[in-house]
Amino acid sequence: MKDFLFLLVAGPFYLYSLLPLKIHYYLADLYMFFIAKLLGYRKSVITTNLARSFPNLKYKEIDLLAKKFYKYFASVIAENFWLVSSSERKIAKMVKLENPEIVKQIQQRGDSVIFVGAHMGNWEYLGLMDMYNEEGAIGYRRDQFIFAYKKQRSHISDRIIKWIRSNHSRGGVYKLGLVESKSIARFMIKNRKSSLAYFLFADQCPKTGSKFGVTFLNQPTLMLNGSEVLSKILDCPVVFVEMYPLNRGNYSIRFHMISETPSQEIEGEITRRYAAVLEESIVRNPHNWLWSHKRWKRVPSDI
């Protein structure tokens, strides 16, 4: 029964993905117009987040940023539909790496690396990072990529997400690189002698009980610090992945070294650097972040 339900959802989804990317953009813009303009999708969340993050901007400027965000978000939705059936050759033309040598030097030493990412650019494209510029540009192969992901409550939804993210699997290897967030620490410690590339997103709102606070985008902010804790245990470099649009359909990735020797850093320093680099990235391209997320639903009482 579960297989039937999966095919019932995945079949039409795949057929829809076969449409040309330009058509996907057009349809996504159309959907977003109705969702944003008529239904006001998370308008209050987006407006509040922007206004508090950029207190010097006037209302008209905030409103313009919100419109740019909706346009960007529509692009991400369109590209993720198209990504399911598109060829690796086509995808490879859409993303460029600015400084892959930073990562390749780590790989050549035989070390693992922790990529700390954020919901900017099109984060789903990061799973294909081994083929941008030229194959082998970052050293790590796709079968060395490990993505932490949040398991969905619905079995069908969870299976759909795994299917989408493993569609470009090169023989089915890549799909093994999805590890539930709650199990990622145990997985990393168990495989500490292997050379792997871990992708951990750290821009979400932490769960209740988190106490690590920073000033981020002009407001007190609780930060996930799991990447710091794990990097200290494994003593592997931490690299921030900044992804931003050059134009619609084309992205650039810039790597920022957060720490080469985590075990030697004072407590909290890696997380603070991550927050600072993320903030700089957002300020450079303010519409290029997931402003619809309720990032500040929990805040530190005192930092």
What was the pLDDT predicted at 303? 57
288: amino acid identity, one letter: N
What was the pLDDT predicted at 2? 65
Q: Is residue 295 part of a domain?
A: no
Q: Is residue 77 part of a domain?
A: yes
Q: Is residue 303 part of a domain?
A: no
263-273 burial, b if ≥16 CB within 10 A, otherwise e?
eebeeeebbbb
Alpha-carbon Rg for the chain, nearest whole angstrom, is: 19
Q: What are the residue ranges in the chain where pLDDT is below 70?
A: 1-4, 6, 166-176, 302-303
What was the pLDDT predicted at 175? 46
What was the pLDDT predicted at 39? 85
What was the pLDDT predicted at 270? 97
Q: Provide the number of structural domains found in the chain.
A: 1
Q: Is residue 262 part of a domain?
A: yes
Distance CA 171, CA 164 (A): 15
Percent of the chain with pLDDT over 90: 71
What was the pLDDT predicted at 264? 96
pLDDT tens digit string along 131-169? 999 888 999 998 899 999 887 777 777 777 777 776 665
What was the pLDDT predicted at 135? 82
What was the pLDDT predicted at 172? 44
Q: Is residue 289 part of a domain?
A: no
Domain span at residue 37 reads 2-284
